[in-house]
Structure 1
Amino acid sequence: MKTIVITGSTDGVGKLAAIQLAKSNHQIILHGRNSEKLKNTISEIKEKTSNNKISGFVSDLSDFNSIEKMIAELSNEFSSIDVLINNAGVFKSSVRQNNDNLDMRFAVNYFAPYLLTTRLLPLLKNSNSSRILNLSSAAQASVSIEALKGNEQISSNEAYAQSKLALTMWSFAFAKANPSITTIAVNPGSLLNTNMVKEAYGHYWSSADKGADILYELAVSEKHQENNGTYFDNDKRTFSNAHNDAYNQEKINQLISETNKILKL
């Protein structure tokens, strides 16, 4: 039995993956922004899977103080984490920037998992064999440091693609710095049938189960233990190469340096 944290798990791919993992009797820690929705999801998953080891925490991932609060609560209740799935993401947002004047896509898709993972590192290290899955995307674009810092306004599409490449670049750096943890960046599949995709594009290509299936496999299958610092492209259904910038050490160093300044780490 593994203790598994999944962000953004009250709907979409995150929720479907949580159900699959709960069916295998793992201890699942859900996360949602809305406490009522989270409570209902916990009840629903318990009922569907006959697994009572389901709990959850509320946090607005665009708000760094809210993330710190969730980390404190989680660390108080659990002594170790075996799998962290940084699944939560945003594409369209009615609010362009968060309280720190950072683009919402960068805040939720990149800064939030970066902060969450860094703070939860002691719990991940308490596991005999921990794993991190960072949800990337087929959409990846070179990161503008000015956009990262909130000084340059770019389109939703551009901000989304840049935030996903930032997450992938950091995944590779984190994997190098933490060889005892298996860290994998994963594109769960393009245009899956989720609320985020339907809001953004109005149509979809594949069932959201396609994304949930690969998250389940990458999270618990023994054969992926050795895949630290890799990128899985579920459109191709294989490990593949990410954007070239993900292998550019100079750009990675600059990204991480600026990120640490912004997050005051």
Structure 2
Amino acid sequence: MKTILITGSTDGIGKLTALKLAKEGHEIYLHGRSEDKLNTVINELKEASNNQNIKGFVADFSDLNAVKQMAEQIKNEVSSLDILINNAGIFKTASSKTKDGLDIRMAVNYLTPFILTENIISVLEKATEPRIVNLSSAAQSTVQKGVLTGDATVNASESYAQSKLALTMWSFNFAKQHPNITTIAVNPGSLLNTKMAKEAYGQHWSPAEKGVDILYDLAVSERHKNQTGTYFDNDRGSYSNAHPDAYDNDKIKLLLTLTESIISN
């Protein structure tokens, strides 16, 4: 049995993936922003899966300090972590900035998984075959320094696409730095039937299950274990090329240097 953490798992494909894995008896850690909602979902999944081994962490992912605190909590409470699915993400929001003045999509979709993952490497490395699945997107756009630092404002679609490319660039680099951890970026499918797609576009192309099935597969299937540092495009149903910037070492280096300076502030 695996110990699995899925961020952003109180609704959408995060929650449905958690349920599918819980039904197989894995130990599941959920994450949500609201404690009430998190507890409700934990109880709901326990009942639906017949698995009592479901716990959770609360953190507002637009607050980078809350993410650091959650990472500390994980280090204290989880002895080893087999699988981390960085699923939490936002598109449409009431406010485009965090309380610290960062672009909210850049913060939640990129800086948060970066901070969380980098801070719990010790927990992942205790597992025999650790695996990380990072939720990218078909929408990927060149990262602008100002959008990353919060000094420039672009529309929601553009900042979302930049945040997803930043995540993919970091994912590829992380895979190189940690060859013992299988790290895969994935576009789970465009316009799946989820809250995010409904809020953003008012429509969907594919059922949410399409995304759930690929996340489940990437997390536990043997056939993906030698695919570290790659990008799976579920619109095509195969491994594919991400945006060219994800293969540009100079751009990746610059991204990581800027990221470190934002985080250390």
For 2:55, what is the secondary structure of its paired residue? strand
Match of 2:264 in 1: 264
Following TM superposition, by how much is the alpha carbon of 1:68 offset from its aligned partner in structure 2, in angstroms? Answer: 1.6
Match of 2:219 in 1: 219
Distance 1:126 1:260 in 2: 25
Deviations 1:94-144 (A, max 9, x none): 111112211000000000000000001000011111000000000000000
Match of 2:121 in 1: 121
Distance 1:56 1:14 in 2: 13
After the TM superposition, which parts of structure 1 deviate over 4 Å for at least 4 consecutive aligned residues? none
Structure 1 position 87 matched with structure 2 position 87: yes
Distance 1:145 1:179 in 2: 29
Identity of aligned residues (%): 56
Distance 1:57 1:15 in 2: 14
Q: TM-score, normalised by structure 2?
A: 0.99
Match of 1:169 in 2: 169
Deviations 1:128-174 (A, max 9, x none): 11000000000000000111011111000000000000000000000
Match of 2:69 in 1: 69
* Partner amino acid, structure 2, of 1:73: Q
Distance 1:245 1:71 in 2: 29
Match of 2:191 in 1: 191
Q: TM-score, normalised by structure 1?
A: 0.99
Match of 2:18 in 1: 18
Deviations 1:60-117 (A, max 9, x none): 0010111122112221111111000000000011111112211000000000000000
Match of 2:104 in 1: 104
Gaps of 5+ in 2: none
Match of 1:230 in 2: 230
For 2:158, what is the secondary structure of its paired residue? helix
Distance 1:107 1:93 in 2: 13
Structure 1 position 200 matched with structure 2 position 191: no
Distance 1:174 1:73 in 2: 22
Match of 1:143 in 2: 143
Match of 1:210 in 2: 210
Distance 2:259 2:68 in 1: 16
The number of residues matched between the two structures is 265
For 1:228, what is the secondary structure of its paired residue? coil
Distance 1:256 1:30 in 2: 28
